[in-house]
Each structure stands twice: as structure tokens, then as C-alpha cells.
Structure 1
Amino acid sequence: MRKLLLLCLSTLAVFLLATAALVLAGLHDRLAPADVIVVPGNTIAIDGTPSPRLQARLDAALAQFQAHRAPRILVSGATGKEGFDEAASMARYLQSRGVPASAIIEDNQGWTTDATACNAAALMRTHGWKTAMVATQYFHVPRFRLALARAGIDVSANVHAAYFEWRDLYSIPRETAGYLVYYAKP
């Protein structure tokens, strides 16, 4: 029984250390030029606008676009349970804040982080773009960077959305487990 307790405590300690490392990595913005900023989708409000969480991602990308770190923004998402195309809603949000439609690329097949990474990689190869910047929640940054890297994308930079909520207490450990699964995948 004592060995089992020690094993459980050791496993918990490793998980908590991994979680802390993930959070710290995601909170550390890496600013560098990129060919495109990639913003993964999230919840759309019942009025068809991005949720506050998604707005924060878009605002992070917008700040980098306005700082001329990338000439275009790729918004990726799918039609969620709310019935709205996330990518279209994200594009409208950015356009309403002065981003020209010609600088926004919509991917409405970004059902998952993997799908967004694969779609972004294919699009980037088609256009000859080499580097990407990630703009997402701090706890999602490491897994999204890993997914893009595995899809063959050079992730030159990342920024996190300045938005924190109680839901993060669930999302952070979930993201730690998700990162471990992505890392273990061939």
C-alpha cells in the first residue's frame, strides 16, 4: 500500500511540474517576424460574435499585425454547436478593427488543433510561407506550437491572449494531458 501511495504521489508531482512548465512556457511571449499569424477558433456567442476568450486571441494577433510582425492572419475554426462559422466570425471581428480583408485567410475546417495545424501547413506550403506566429490562450500555446511543428511549420513566435477565467482551472490540466498525448503520437 505504501508503494502505491508513493507511486501516486510521484505521478501527481510530475504532472504538476509538467503543468507548471506548460503554463510558464505559454505565458512567455516570443516575438519575431512571421509570414502569418495563426489563430485557432473557440466559442462563438449566440449573437454570432467571438466569445471574450476568442476576442482576446484575436486582439493578441491584431496587436502583432499592427506592429508589422506579420502581414497576414489565418483564422481557423469550424461551425460549432452555436451554428456559426468560427473563421467567418473571426474575420469579421478583425475587419471591424481595421484589418483589410486581403490580409485575412479563413480556414473553416479547423475542427481540432491538429486539423488547424495541418490546414495551416498546407496553405503555407501553397503560398511559400515559411514561418508562423501562434496567437492563443497561454495554456494552449505549447500544444499548438507542437502541432504546427509536427505539420512541418517553423513556429518563429507566439503570443498569448490576455484573458484569464475560472475555466482555466479545468483547461490547464486538460491541456497538460493533451500535450502529453500529442508528444507521444508518432
Structure 2
Amino acid sequence: MSDVSDVSPEVEADGEGHPARPRRRLLGLAIGFVVLGVLALVASVAWTLTASAGHRYGVDEAPDAPVAIVFGAQLRPDGTPKPFLAGRLDTAAELYRAGTVRALLVSGDGRGTSGDEVAAMTRYLTARGVPADRIVGDPNGLDTYDTCARAHQVFGVRRALLVSQSFHVPRAVTLCRHVGIDADGVASRCDTCSDKTLWRNRVREVPAAFKAAGDALRDRPPVVVSPRDSALDKALSR
């Protein structure tokens, strides 16, 4: 009589109905999600570049507008602007002195982790000859979308120049135009920024563009919703 073994037969990896097939299916799904994610990121960046095409300028060629919107950024430990923000403010001051704009809307986080961005921006501009009554601050511009939405909804901006670095300008222009502002971007410099810092921020624009696309698709309200503010109207009337 032959021996009967209790050991289960070996499962082949490539036969029908064996565990290898579910594993392959999961792997295929994972790859599919990765591909879709990459395509979504690429599409988001393409959207900002396409929507802002023809609306990006250097400071010397910028068209006239009533107001320039300056986007906030982090401060130094002593409360002064870091190079990115200083470059934006220098460009905004140049636009004002040239008569390209008549007022400046400085928008950032008034309770930021590095300090009050709006107060620091105002001090920097007045120290460079921009009259205080031509500067309006929005301490609730918590991100690019919020800055654009609040500029339109709270301060009544219909036409503006947007001042930021060249890697940020496409997203800023796209979002501001989406919310109803006839916006053109003006690229500011960052002469003291290292190549590493510049590339890190360029790479950061990829997920930021994806978030921007989501905000625009949802037409989300800004984080802080405020009543109409006439401060900018008064600054422009002076």
C-alpha cells in the first residue's frame, strides 16, 4: 500500500485561480494610480502655464494697472523679509515709482509662523519711499488662492499686476484670472537666492499647481471670509 501524505499540494504561482493573480491585479492597480497621479500633476502645471500665457512680464515691460498685488512669504528671525519677499517688494516699489501702478495691496499671513508678513512688507515699502497711504494690507492672504479671491471679493480688485518670482507667477496669474481679476504677472528677482533654493521652489510648484487646480474646480471660498473693505478704493482715490 502506498503512503498517503497530509501535506497540501504545492500552489503554483502562474496557474488559474492561484494567489499570484490577485497580487498581479493589485500591482496593476497601483501602477495605474501612480500613472494617473503623474498625469494629474502634469496636467495641472500645463493648465497654469497655458492660462497665464501672454500675461507674464518683466518689470520694464509691465502694462499699467491700478494696483499691484504683492504675495507674502516668510520673514527672517528679526522680522525683516527674506530674499524672496524682499525681491517682490523691491519690484513693487519700482512699479509704483515708475507710475505703472497707483497703489499696492500687500497680502500675506498676519499670524504667520515667522511673524506678521503684512506689517513687515508695509515697513519695507515705506522705508523705500512708498507712501503709507498708498499701501493696503490683507493679513488673511493665507495662500495664493486666498490672496486672489480676497483681492476680488473683499477689496474689489478688477485689474491688477501680480508681483512674485517667475516660477510662482503662472499659478498666481491663473488663479487670479479664474476668480475674476484681469491679472498680469510681473516677475521679480532673487539675486541672493542659492540655486538649491530656487530649484526647491520650482519643484514645489508641481504639487502647488495640483492644489490650485482643485481649489479652482471647487471654487472654494477663502479660509477667512470678510465684508467689503474700501481701503483700496481710498488709496486709489488719493
After TM superposition, is the score higher than 0.5? yes
The answer on 1:158 being equivalent to 2:190 is no
* Aligned mates of 1:36, 1:140 — CA distance in 2: 19
Alignment of 1:68-79 (within 5 A): 68-78=99-109, 79=111
CA apart distance, 1:167: 1.5
Residues 71 and 123 (structure 1), Cα distance of their counterparts in 2 relative to 1, 3 Å cut:
farther
Aligned residue number for residue 145 of structure 1: 173
CA contact (8 A) 1:42 1:53 kept: yes
CA contact (8 A) 1:35 1:130 kept: no
CA contact (8 A) 2:172 2:185 kept: no
CA apart distance, 1:151: 1.6
CA apart distance, 1:27: 7.2
CA contact (8 A) 1:142 1:179 kept: no
* Aligned mates of 1:27, 1:151 — CA distance in 2: 18
Higher RCO (CA 8 Å, separation ≥ 6 residues): 1
* Aligned mates of 2:117, 2:69 — CA distance in 1: 14
Q: What is the TM-score when the length of structure 2 is the normalising length?
A: 0.64
Uncovered stretches (5+) of structure 1, i.e. residues with no partner: none
CA apart distance, 1:149: 1.0
- Counterpart of 1:80, as a letter, is G
Aligned residue number for residue 141 of structure 2: 110
Alignment of 1:1-186 (within 5 A): 15=42, 22=49, 28-29=57-58, 31-78=62-109, 79-82=111-114, 84-125=115-156, 129-155=157-183, 157-163=184-190, 164-165=193-194, 166-183=196-213, 185-186=217-218
> Could you say what secondary structure the match of 1:171 adopts?
helix
* 1:39-62 superposed Cα distances (whole Å, 9 cap, x missing partner): 110011111111111000101111
* Aligned mates of 1:89, 1:100 — CA distance in 2: 15
**% identity of equivalent residues:** 32
Residues 28 and 70 (structure 1), Cα distance of their counterparts in 2 relative to 1, 3 Å cut:
closer
> Could you say what secondary structure the match of 1:167 adopts?
helix
* Aligned mates of 1:103, 1:28 — CA distance in 2: 23
CA apart distance, 1:181: 3.8
CA contact (8 A) 1:80 1:86 kept: yes
CA contact (8 A) 1:124 1:130 kept: no
Q: What is the TM-score when the length of structure 1 is the normalising length?
A: 0.80
* Aligned mates of 1:77, 1:173 — CA distance in 2: 22
- Counterpart of 1:167, as a letter, is T
RMSD: 2.9
* Aligned mates of 1:28, 1:132 — CA distance in 2: 13
* Aligned mates of 1:104, 1:55 — CA distance in 2: 16
Uncovered stretches (5+) of structure 2, i.e. residues with no partner: 1-30, 219-238
CA apart distance, 1:28: 4.4
* 1:43-96 superposed Cα distances (whole Å, 9 cap, x missing partner): 1111111111100010111111111011000001112112x2101110010000
